[in-house]
Amino acid sequence: MFRKRYRMGGIALSALGTLVMAGVFTLGAGGASACEECKGKYEVDGKKSGYLYSTPATQAIQDDDFTNPGFLWVERGRQLWAKKEGEANKSCKDCHGEPEKLRGVFPTYPKFDPKTKKLINIEQRINRCRTEQMKAKAWKWESDELLSMTTLVGYVSRGMPVNVKVDGPAKPFFEKGKAFYFQRRGQLDMACKHCHIDFPGQYIRADLLSEGRAGGAFPLYRLKWQKLGSLHRRFRGCNKQVRAKPYKAGSDEYVNLELYVKWRSNGLPVEVPAVRR
């Protein structure tokens, strides 16, 4: 049922923005307007969010919580938050109370996980709650459920600065993520850095390159996808564009890369759910 509504939202957006507005109203999205705390913070210490590389039309969709289609996932997340599941018959709410209690959590992930001795990102942390506390099945990567919960957990930290730690036990994983960013790959033989460090603000064909400081924005609603998606889905898309074999979403490689990308975003506001072309 939800799936259907999402799809309808997407189609409506491509055809007629006003229809989607009506769709969101019926779901009663919370929050009156924009991320007030984000205003004026899309550039911090010379770092620019992808928001500033978006067209005014795309910014306007993000700026108004009633037109931002990402709020469908925030609302879906709130419903899942209270749903009891698994052998333990527990919901997120049973342990955490209201989702807003998790304000401040999202900006610190990925972080070193003493249990697995590697990094854990927010999606994986949500799934650990499910398997260990709720005794429920982990949600699949890019499923509506995992996207919705991740978006909700991001949303309650909106406006807070991204703040990942890259020293201490996280350091070797950060270094691996950084190496990934600078490693040429694929038939087109390009590294992340060639677009996002060397040429932000310039055009590849019709596309304006951003600084790739995506840490505060994902999961985000991408107009090209007509859907909300994860940062790892975006990584896969970038890798495929240079004709390289992508890694799996949730792989160690991408979680390490995520830490590096989020470190590049440190200080920029969480703007989940952001909207991009």
Q: Which residues contact another protein by CB under 8 A? A: 183-190, 194-195, 198-199, 202-206, 209, 239-240, 243-245
At closest approach, how far in Å is the CB of 117 from another protein? 26
At closest approach, how far in Å is the CB of 56 from another protein? 19
Given a contact cutoff of 8 angstroms between Cβ atoms, the answer to whether 196 and 187 are in contact is no
Q: How far is Cα 163 from Cα 216, in angstroms, rounded to an integer?
A: 10
Omega of the bond leading into 107 within 30 degrees of 0 (cis): no
At closest approach, how far in Å is the CB of 207 from another protein? 8
Taking the least distance from each CB to another protein, the nearer of 3 and 245 is 245
Tokens coding 219: 């999961």
Pick the catalytic residue: 35, 38, 92, 238? 238
Q: Which is nearest to 177 in space by CA: 127, 215, 124, 137?
A: 215
At closest approach, how far in Å is the CB of 42 from another protein? 23
Catalytic status, residue 238? yes
Taking the least distance from each CB to another protein, the nearer of 33 and 202 is 202
> At CA 199, angle to CA 197 and CA 200, rounded to 5?
80
SS3 90: strand
Taking the least distance from each CB to another protein, the nearer of 180 and 221 is 180
Q: Rg for the chain (alpha carbons), in Å?
A: 18
Given a contact cutoff of 8 angstroms between Cβ atoms, the answer to whether 260 and 171 are in contact is no
- Which parts of 70-212 are beta strand (E)? 111-113, 118-120, 203-204, 207-208
Taking the least distance from each CB to another protein, the nearer of 32 and 206 is 206
Residues forming the active site = 238
